[in-house]
Structure 1
Amino acid sequence: MLAIVLMMTLGVLVAAAVAIYVAYPHRGEAVPVVPQVGNAMRKGVDALPTLEDSESKV
Structure 2
Amino acid sequence: MTAIVIMLVLGLLVAGAVVVYVAYPHRGEEMPVVPQLGDAMRKGVDSLPTLEDSESRV
TM beyond 0.5: yes
Is there any run of 5+ residues in structure 1 with no aligned partner, and where?
Answer: none
**C-alpha root-mean-square deviation of aligned residues, in Å?**
0.5
* Cross-structure match for 2:53: 53
TM-score for the superposition, normalised by structure 1: 0.96
Q: Say which SS state the counterpart of residue 29 (structure 1) adopts.
A: coil
- What's the offset of the Cα at 1:23? 0.4
Question: How many residues end up aligned between the 2 structures?
Answer: 58
Runs of 4+ in structure 1 displaced over 4 angstroms?
A: none
Residues in 2 aligned to 1:9 and 1:57: alpha-carbon distance in whole angstroms: 39
Q: Within 5 Å, which residues of 2 pair with 1:6-45?
A: 6-45=6-45
TM-score for the superposition, normalised by structure 2: 0.96
